[in-house]
Structures are given as C-alpha cells and as structure tokens.
Amino acid sequence: MNLNKTLLTIPTLITILTLLLSCNSSNNDSDSTADQNDPRSYQHGVDFIKRSDGSYVLVWSSSGNPPIGENSKGDWLHDVFYSTIDPKHPLITPEALISFPNAQEPVSAAINPNGHIMITMEDSWRAQNELSQTYAVYDENLNPIKPYQNKVFEGGHSGHVSSVGNNFVVFYSEGWVDGGGVDNLGSGDDVLLSVYDSDGELIEIKDVAMGDADRDWWPLVTGSNRHALLAWQRFVEGKTSSILMFAVYNPLTNEWVKAASEIAEGVKYYTYDIEYLDTIDRFLVSGSYENGGGFSFLLSQEGGIISKNIALPPIVREAQPALKNVDNGTVKVVYPTMPNQLAVLSVSRSSITLEDVISVEQDWSTAGVDGVFLRDNSMYFVSLLPTGLTEVYVDLND
C-alpha cells in the first residue's frame, strides 16, 4: 500500500491520503465501453451507510484496488467492494462483495431502520439487453439476505436506491437514445421505480416519466420515513444543459404526493444531488448550472419549495455531502465543489446559507465522492480517482 499525506495549517486543517490498495477483482470482460480517459472506467459509484452501532460501511465499484481501468477491448471490469469504517480510526480495508464477470457499476447502497442493506447497480453480467439493473440485500454485517444476482429491470441502468421507512425504492433508467448529452453520447429514454420490502421482495413497479415526448435519465432517490424524493435530468433539444425534474412518491400508498415537475433549468449534466435532512424534516436539492455557479432548493415532505439559494459554488458531479445536525436546529451540509473546494452550508427549516468555502489540495473525482462527519468538526471524504481511493480529512475550526 502506498500512502501519501499532506498537512495544511491554514484556517482549516486538511489531510489528504491517497490509497493504492491491492485486492482481487474480476478479470472478465464487460459489455460497457468507453475511452480509457473516462475516470468512471476505473472506479464509479460510492456510498457511506451508517450502521446501528455508529460505524460505517463504505461501498464502491472499482476495477481493482488499485484500479486498472478498461481492458484491451475497451470493456469495463468493475466489481463491488466494501470496507467497514470505525469513525474513531478510519481505515479502508477493501473486501470484494460482488465479483462476477463484466462490470457492476455504478453501485448505490442504502440501509433501512431494520438494519437491512440494499445494494443496486447497472450490470452487464447475464444481461439479455446489454445491461440490467440488479440488486442484493444484506444484513448490517454484509451477510446475504437476498444474494446477488436479482433483476430490478432487464434493460435498466443508472439506478440508485434509498430506504423509505423499512421499504426500499430503486429509481432507474430504461432505454438509450443516441445523440446529444455529454460528448454527444446520447441520453437515457425513460425512468421508472421499483419498491421492495425489507427482505428485497418486490412490491411495486411504477412508471415515473415514460414515452417518446421526453428523454429522461440519471435518476436519483432519497427517502424520509414515508416519502421518496426523485430527481432526474431531462434532455433539451439543441441545448448542452438539462432541465432538472423532481417528484415525490409515497411507496406505502403507491400514490404521487407531488407529480413530476421542473425545479431548475440550464443544469449541468449529471451534476446534482438530493438529500433528506431528518432533524429538520426537509429535502435538499443541490446542483450546478452549465454556465457556472450552483444552487440548492429546500423542499417540504410534500414537495413544496420552501426556500432556495441560487448563488452557490458549483458542486462536483456525482458528489454527496457530509451532514451534521447542529444543536440550534440547523444542519451543516458540506459539499465538494469544483475543482478542489468544500462549500459549507447551514440549512434550517426555512433557509439555506453559505457559511464558508474551504480549499483542499486534491482535485475531486467526477466518478464519485461521499463524506461523513466523524466528530464535531472533523469530516472524512472518499473520492474515486483513477489512481485509487483518495481520503480527505478536514477539521473545521470554530
């Protein structure tokens, strides 16, 4: 293992460690293809999930540790890895969780109040239509409850999962339309959701945005104890940016709480995130504009817009924030922002305030970043770079 450490002593103490870890991964071919310069061909998709004892499980997709990228045929080789993380002494020790031929990426993971963990991924192993969205369910110790491989949807891709109460909601794309999008590679076509019980048994499949009129893809989901917030990008003909759409769904009643609606336009492709802030009972929708700058919208459980701030730094593509509940009834939300900073937001039930912008010495990955608070002012981020996992420690001074 190679370990590099940099220590900064400006208002904030920042330590960056780059891990090049060795671990077995699949050497089989994948149906996914892309240029080797695409960072996603090395690693793609990362989530922290918090267990009942306060420890974390880090889950990510990678072509090995260190990652090797695509093979000579241009195929991707991702397996799914995990590591338990002690917040008092964070140490990543990769273990293969799902290692099968072809690529399983990007991975998305969620835990419910029962301690069951669902993991879902775009998957080319045994796919009849090039790709399928698949899943597995585990207990808190990663013992299988419903072992891999289970199909969410044949032909599904780009899916993400969240718990809603003890149920799980998987939100995913189906179909592909050539042309437009990033590098003219095209866009997804439709978005759907599937609802599962705590053990991974299917309850419902529901159309979210279907038909030939629109091209919709890169679906994200986050959940409260009763509602799921859905967000996705909609293709705009002749534009190099997207419309960001959202909806709110109740999986217990199978009803729409808020029908599909536009929340922002001119949004940079793939560069948005959604979170549920439980202590203030609000959803947060954040993203970046294609022409620069960023935004956050504060939503009620029913999907009503409570507040917005459209003068924020641009967040990083496929990045998630570190969240901390504060005694004064606010939530500290810290997002990686382009190219190598952190934006510290204070979010109340009715406002979004930018408190600080912190520089770090490592450019963020666009293939996946997630972070957690370890202690009062100590944050820990993991970024998926082509060279390996990069850990970023940040101590905020009061």
* pLDDT for 396: 87
Query: What six digits make up the tokens of 247?
Result: 């909806």
Q: Are 135 and 195 in contact (CB under 8 A)?
A: no
pLDDT score of 19 more than 60: no
* pLDDT for 11: 41
pLDDT tens digit sequence for 226-238: 999 999 999 999 9
CATH no. of 2-395:
2.130.10.10
* pLDDT for 16: 53
Kind of pairing between the strands at 282-289 and 255-277: antiparallel
CB within 8 Å of 225: residues ≥ 6 apart: 164, 165
pTM: predicted TM-score of the whole model, two decimal places:
0.93
- Return the sign of the alpha-carbon dihedral for residues 347, 231, 60, 365: negative
Higher-pLDDT residue of 16 and 61 is 61
pLDDT score of 4 more than 60: no
* pLDDT for 20: 44
Q: pLDDT class for 375, splitting at 50, 70, 90?
A: confident
Q: How far is residue 324's CA from residue 394's CA, in Å, rounded to a whole number?
A: 14
Q: How far is residue 339's CA from residue 328's CA, in Å, rounded to a whole number?
A: 31
Domain range summary for the chain, segments of one domain joined by +: 2-395
CA angle 191, 197, 203 (to 5 degrees): 55
pLDDT tens digit sequence for 180-220: 999 899 999 999 999 999 999 999 999 999 999 999 999 99
Q: What is the DSSP letter of 316?
A: P
CA angle 365, 369, 372 (to 5 degrees): 145
Average pLDDT, the chain: 92
- Mean pLDDT value of segment 120-125: 98
- Mean pLDDT value of segment 131-141: 98
CB within 8 Å of 70: residues ≥ 6 apart: 30, 33, 34, 36, 41, 63, 76, 77
DSSP 181-224: SGGG--EEEEEEEEEE-TTS-EEEEEEEE-SSS--EEEEEEEE-
- Mean pLDDT value of segment 223-248: 98
